[in-house]
């Protein structure tokens, strides 16, 4: 039986692979794995947390994210390929997807908004049809690759077919589009809805309606806040 020392693995990766992003939960490093260009995703320790609890949570979250990506790939959703998973080290080694973020491609006019919206919606609908929600499906988490759009970053994903959770995914995409791509937002979101219906199927109407309700709830709360401040 092969034994792995998580501390040695993490230390070697941090020494050899280039840091490309760091968040509250993890860091991403760019490197090579058996000759392939990969992203090392490391869930880092939280010094303020009990070590045993921290280790357990990192192990559980790493394993869940890997299961989600594997299920997405098996279901035909364009996601990064998995090369290795070590939950005990909080490590996922996955394909580095070459290409600009959809956000930047839209800003630079490199992609047609209607085409991009449709493809993004179809991918998210297809993911939902597998009983998976993404958790952060913004234009920053779609990559325009040579094989089309690829949806990345499954750190907040989970297995659920809840209408509310699916609708939150839709709401997050719409909110990101409206705030980041105002000039093409209507065209982009209209085509996104069409693609989403194609990807998910008959349940899409109920999910989109719930997303609309979530939007209205947010507007109501915002108006209430404004009215309180005016008093």
CA–CA gap between residue 216 and residue 199 (Å, rounded) = 25
For residue 127, give the nearest of 73, 164, 89, 171 by alpha carbon: 73
| Residue pair 29/42 in contact by the 8 Å Cβ criterion | yes
How many Å apart are CA 70 and CA 200, to the nearest integer? Answer: 19
Marked catalytic residue, from 112, 136, 158, 165 = 136
Whether residue 136 lies in the annotated active site: yes
Buried b (16+ CB within 10 A) or exposed e, 130-146: eebbbbbbbbebbbbee
Helix (H, G, I), strand (E, B) or coil at 135: coil
- Rounded to an integer, what distance in angstroms lies between the CA atom of residue 115 and that of residue 108? 15
Q: 3-state DSSP helix/strand/coil percent for the chain, to nearest 5?
A: 55, 20, 25
Residues 191/113, Cβ–Cβ less than 8 Å: yes
Give backbone dihedrals phi and psi of 44, rounded to 5 degrees, phi first. -90, 155
CA distance 215 to 99: 32
> Using the 8-state DSSP alphabet, how is residue 101 labeled?
B
Active site residue ranges: 136
């Amino acid at each position: 039986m092969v034994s792995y020392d998580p501390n040695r693995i993490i230390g070697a990766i941090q020494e050899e692979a280039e840091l490309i992003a760091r968040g509250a939960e993890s860091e991403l490093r760019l490197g090579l794995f058996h000759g392939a260009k990969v992203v090392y995703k490391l869930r880092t320790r939280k010094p303020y947390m009990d070590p045993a609890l921290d280790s357990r949570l990192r192990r559980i979250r790493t394993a869940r994210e890997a299961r989600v990506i594997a299920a997405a790939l098996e279901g035909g959703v364009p996601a990064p390929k998995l090369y290795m998973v070590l939950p005990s080290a909080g490590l996922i080694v996955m394909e580095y997807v070459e290409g600009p973020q959809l956000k930047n491609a839209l800003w630079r006019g490199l992609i047609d908004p209607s085409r991009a919206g449709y493809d993004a919606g179809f991918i998210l609908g297809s993911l939902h049809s597998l009983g998976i929600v993404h958790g952060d499906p913004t234009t920053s988490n779609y990559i325009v690759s040579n094989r089309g759009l690829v949806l990345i970053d499954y750190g907040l994903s989970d297995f659920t077919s809840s209408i509310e959770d699916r609708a939150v995914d839709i709401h997050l995409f719409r909110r990101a589009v409206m705030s980041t791509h105002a000039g093409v937002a209507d065209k982009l979101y209209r085509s996104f809805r069409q693609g989403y219906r194609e990807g998910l199927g008959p349940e899409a109407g109920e999910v989109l309606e719930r997303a609309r309700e979530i939007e209205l709830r947010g507007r109501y709360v915002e108006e209430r806040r404004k009215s309180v401040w005016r008093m």
